[in-house]
A and B are shown apart, each in its own frame.
Chain A
């Protein structure tokens, strides 16, 4: 077993080594075009000459020219083995190459075929494509030698892949790229619309900042992959300074920083780090703009050092935000997790493009689209999730708050009712005891002295009024005869004193209920009957008290006009009733309609002992 796997490993190693050898050999070979040809990397079959003396050819699959280098010539030969014309396309992945000159060598004569690049108008692009794509036509069996001259800005490195593709393969891959680019902008537009929508309702700047960030990130990415100049710039435009690219990238950086500070509530949680970020942002942006427009001209040799300073600050910036994420994670982990994911993708993309463009270390292109493009899709996706979670948090908070408000309102109402009951009790007692007693004394004194029946009668009337008022305010008979009998008498009195026909029915309803239960129930019934008397225009009312298996039910049914058709809506009264019933653990429901009258139904749990 052991021996076997060793053999296998050895064989694999051998194959690997051989293929590597073959690869090196193919680097100096001619490109042969047969019917199976799809694409080939130019670097693998070309000879490169550099303008810089000490520059070395790196081992990567793509062309990388360092800071000091200004122009490069690349010689290559293609042999068409087909019996027909062969249409090829030479494509560069980088969109800001200053000058591209492709020449054909015929009889040792260099004949320029294409001359394009950022130094020229956009219309010099041989093919209307986001990238520099140069068509190459070969006759049947033709062997052609070419010289490619790439000129770059001094003081800036250049990294680009150069691929020769068959026309068919170019179209196929281009279609896939279009789909990916379409997906990117689709996600971006949805995110922008969503966050603007939320901003419209919540009026919180973070959503607006996010929408603008996604817009600028989209502009940055589109100028990075060549879509921007393709779509928005006219044919006569030159992109030699590519100001838009630098501006979009810096603005999106600022917006991202501002957005991250909002998301992580840095003002409240990490105010010092937030200050640090602000300072670094200003420094980094000034440096970047100077680098781009000024340093390259003035301090040519210092540019790479300034670039490194820029990267160092950038890394510190990234580090600070990572610390903020960790600190904020404790507070809100769902939201922070998504943000952290988005952030990781952003860092990955940025790091990949720095490694590629500035150091020529890593090839980060898939389907001719840079890693930054893919990570941006994921970044926007996860940032949008973050925003969605923020909205969810806000709604959750609001719900908790409104629940708290409802509870508080209930408490207030309960307190109000309790206060009212206490006060009623006090006034009732006062009327009954003091005023009543003194009136009866007065009556006796007056009648003894004056023997006047009229005076006596008047005082008796006052006594009756005081008694009735006292009873209405605080029905003391509840404690003597209980709820049932008090309601029954109330019903009788109303029947006698008004035109209302009031039927009282009780089925095994208990005589004695706890005092607070009977007080609250009586108040509810009183309020219900008052409503009926005052507003309902009813002629028939049924009050029913029932003892059920495990509950008591009290219903008041009238044939009046209901609540809907009434002008004065019974707001507080109903709330009061509801609150009183709730206080004793019961349930109150009111069904009211203009044609069916009103039904007040109270049920409270009750155990027969």
Chain B
């Protein structure tokens, strides 16, 4: 039984890129380009109308950016595969795209093989496809509680605070503005989740913050 070619919708505003993509899919029996859109505003209506199998989505579309479109696309067409095709190569963007439900991430200067690999991959495996050259995501443990870091300047301020000095006095001793000291103090209290200097003294003794 011959497989139906997967229908592709290209969302890309640069003709030269679209042309390039079209030439890749010309000889492909598995994939067929159903249409291309260059305006971010038209993407959702076209997706609804055409119900493609896969979307190649540029992040930098006029009027509406790809990140914003991702969620909306998945909303109107839950089964569609979306592969981001972009010039951007930032970990944070890759991570964000993944969070928002993208199925793959490719750079525009990817090779034809890479593109086809990505397509095959998103249909066969269900894992997030990362194209060649794309910055790998640093594995972050979500349950990891960030260790509180007290900076050098903050330690100075803490030393003064536990001596019982007030903000103006500290500002005078350290030759910095009262506003700076005040902000430092707020930062420290916020980080340590305390509300007064007594708590601070306790915490400094308990946790040896200054060592």
Interface residues of A, Cβ cutoff 8 Å to B: 432-434, 436-441, 443-445, 447-448, 456, 459-460, 463-464, 467, 470-471, 476-477, 479-481, 485-486, 488-489, 492, 503, 505, 507, 540, 542, 544, 546-549, 553, 555, 557, 559, 587, 589, 591, 593, 596-597, 599, 601, 603
Contact = CB atoms under 8 A, between A and B. Distances in A.
Nearest to A435: B87
7 contacts: A433-B14, A437-B14, A479-B65, A485-B96, A542-B149, A557-B152, A591-B176
B180 A591 contact: yes
Given A437-B17, A440-B110, A480-B93, 15 more contacts: A441-B20, A443-B109, A444-B20, A444-B109, A448-B112, A463-B107, A479-B65, A480-B92, A480-B96, A492-B138, A540-B152, A546-B187, A553-B187, A593-B175, A599-B176
B91 A489 contact: yes
A267 B87 CA distance: 70
B19 A441 contact: yes
Interface residues of B, number: 45
A503 B149 contact: yes
A555 B176 CA distance: 14
A477 B20 contact: no
Closest 10 CB pairs of A and B: A440-B109, A485-B92, A440-B108, A437-B14, A481-B92, A436-B87, A542-B151, A463-B109, A591-B176, A480-B67
A488 B190 CA distance: 20
Contact of B88 (A441, A477, A593): A477
B163 interface: no
Contact of A447 (B88, B111, B151, B180): B111
Interface in B12-70: 14, 16-17, 19-20, 23-24, 59-60, 65-67
Nearest to B111: A447
A433 B15 CA distance: 11
B177 interface: yes
B179 to A, nearest CB: 6
Contact of A441 (B16, B67, B95, B151): B16
B20 A601 contact: no
A589 B149 contact: no
A471 B93 CA distance: 12
A489 B92 contact: yes
A295 to B, nearest CB: 78
Interface in B144-166: 146, 149, 151-153
B202 interface: no
B89 interface: yes
Given A559-B152, A593-B175, A507 B133 contact: no
Contacts of A555: 151, 153, 183, 187
A514 to B, nearest CB: 16
B136 interface: no
A546 B92 contact: no
B153 A599 contact: yes
B90 A589 contact: no
Contacts, number: 138
A439 B17 CA distance: 10
Contacts of B19: 441
A549 B187 CA distance: 10
B177 A489 contact: no
Nearest to A548: B186
Contacts of A540: 152
A553 B183 CA distance: 7
Contacts of A463: 87, 107-109
B75 interface: no
Nearest to B14: A437
B108 A437 contact: yes
A555 B59 CA distance: 31
Contact of B92 (A447, A464, A488, A559): A488
A587 B182 CA distance: 13
B169 interface: no
Contacts of B180: 589, 591, 599, 601
Nearest to B90: A477
A444 B153 contact: no
A480 B179 contact: no
B179 A589 contact: yes
Contacts of A479: 65
B111 A505 contact: no
Given A476-B60, A485-B96, A492 B14 contact: no
Nearest to B59: A480
Nearest to B179: A589
Interface string B90-109: 11110110000000000111
B152 A492 contact: no
A547 B186 CA distance: 10
Contacts of B90: 471, 477, 481, 486, 489
Nearest to B87: A436
A455 B24 CA distance: 19
A479 B59 CA distance: 11
B82 to A, nearest CB: 15
Contacts of B14: 433-434, 437
